[in-house]
Structure 1
């Protein structure tokens, strides 16, 4: 029997024990006084004392004081009469009994229970149940001891609820366990005039073997997370290094490309300038160069010279201008520079170099290369 039930039973018999003690003490006092000769034995005196004691006991039995947080069930000759509200009441002496009921919220400590979960794992759990008497008459008439009955019902319900759940649920879903236990208790306790206000499961512990297995599982999960984080860090480091190498290679390739572009531009400009110089010379420059060659040839010891036909024709046509001789120049035009035809100008890029020489700005010069593309925005 729990301590709370024992205290309740003691309170039920407290009033009767007190009254009987008063009467018994008074009788013992009178008997001791007669035996010691303090009071002479007189039947009238004895009768008077007896009547006085009976009167005191009757008054004491007839007066009932109910505390503010209680209600008391009154029975007369074993028959239920009424509920005594808080305050002072007068009841039939000697033939009435009262049974107090605490109307405050009361706590029932459910001892630790062992159960087997749905996945055959042993667990132990304990709980606390909070109840309140809503109808003291029904609590008095419908059940022998409402506290003990509620406590035993909570124990069996706790084992049943744990047996319907898997181990993981019992460890993680306390609110679900509390709610199910409270729902199971509400039906029977309502008939007893008692309301279950709350149920709180304090601890759910698996068996030692299961606890060790869970600890090993937790350690393995932590190691796995650590390995994942380490692998992610290494991967990120490799990616960063690869990105750095990629950027370095791109910058190096861009620098090499720009160098090749500038070198190609320089060669193209040099070629076009040489072509432009050759164009400015024309036929006159060719004839003058040929005459210098003839002069060099004439200084030799040989007396026989073989000249190209084109050179002799040019000399015949423009001899007056070059040597001052009396060559008939009728119909002979003066020597003039001959311009490049369109195909030659396009091949040599004469137009582009003229624009560049005139300072018209940047001129795009295409250079054939398998790996280099010319861009207008070269730095």
Structure 2
């Protein structure tokens, strides 16, 4: 095989490699953020996109909602009860450029601030409030996270407290209280049932 043939084959291989590096696919649920020579060039919509190899870098950012568990952590409530609380946050990218330029690792950053916010907000409430007003606490946490992450190009759409673990002593005390309430209601019902016939006898006949 001649040298010219080898050169032609090598050229074709380089062209194919170049095309492979130049052609990028931005999926329907993504938006591309293009940098040229390290400077922001703009965003790219879904579809086939051509970039200049080596010169251009295309970051493909997912716009789908991300589910992020907030791991369980020990929290002291306002009335000094130790509880373990876990939650889950839902967020999505609304500004792809900010999510690339402003913050390096979106998921790690929001996870750290979510844990801190969860601890602070839950710690401001007594145990009874935490158990009875979960929806309001969820919204308080969501609003704080949303305000904090706006500059990162994110929107926090929902936060939910998923698991609230009470100390064993507290569980036993609540179980005893519930049992006492049931016994109290049973006594009242029995007393009413036993006096019902007497009330019937005491009722004067109608003329």
TM over 0.5: yes
Aligned to 1:228: 188
Q: Distance in 2 between matches of 1:45 and 1:114?
A: 71
Q: Distance in 2 between matches of 1:111 and 1:185?
A: 16
Q: How many residues align?
A: 205
Q: Deviations over 1:153-197 (max 9, x none)?
A: 222211111111111111121101111111111111111111111
Aligned to 1:165: 125
Instruction: Answer whether contact 1:118 1:165 (CA < 8 A) is retained.
Output: yes
Aligned to 2:11: 51
- In the superposition, the TM-score normalised over structure 1's length comes to 0.50
**Secondary structure in structure 2 of the residue aligned to 1:50:** helix
Q: Deviations over 1:314-370 (max 9, x none)?
A: xxxxxxxxxxxxxxxxxxxxxxxxxxxxxxxxxxxxxxxxxxxxxxxxxxxxxxxxx
Is 1:133 matched with 2:93?
yes
Greater Rg over alpha carbons, structure: 1
Aligned to 1:143: 103
Q: Distance in 1 between matches of 2:173 and 2:88?
A: 29
Equivalent of residue 219 in structure 1, options 157, 175, 179: 179
CA drift at 1:78:
2.3
Equivalent of residue 112 in structure 1, options 51, 54, 72: 72
CA drift at 1:70:
0.5
Aligned to 2:23: 63
Aligned to 2:134: 174
CA drift at 1:238:
4.1
Equivalent of residue 194 in structure 1, options 150, 154, 160: 154
Q: Deviations over 1:294-326 (max 9, x none)?
A: xxxxxxxxxxxxxxxxxxxxxxxxxxxxxxxxx
CA drift at 1:95:
2.4
CA drift at 1:237:
4.0
Equivalent of residue 83 in structure 2, options 105, 118, 123: 123
Structure 1 or 2: more strand by fraction = 2
Structure 1 or 2: more helix by fraction = 1
Q: Distance in 2 between matches of 1:237 and 1:166?
A: 46
CA drift at 1:74:
1.4
**Secondary structure in structure 2 of the residue aligned to 1:109:** strand
- In the superposition, the TM-score normalised over structure 2's length comes to 0.89
Structure 2 unaligned residues grouped into runs of 5+: none
Q: Distance in 2 between matches of 1:45 and 1:209?
A: 84
Equivalent of residue 34 in structure 2, options 67, 74, 81: 74
CA drift at 1:121:
0.9
Computed over aligned residues only, the root mean square deviation of the Cα atoms, in angstroms, reads 2.1
Aligned 1:279-290 pairs, distance under 5 A = none
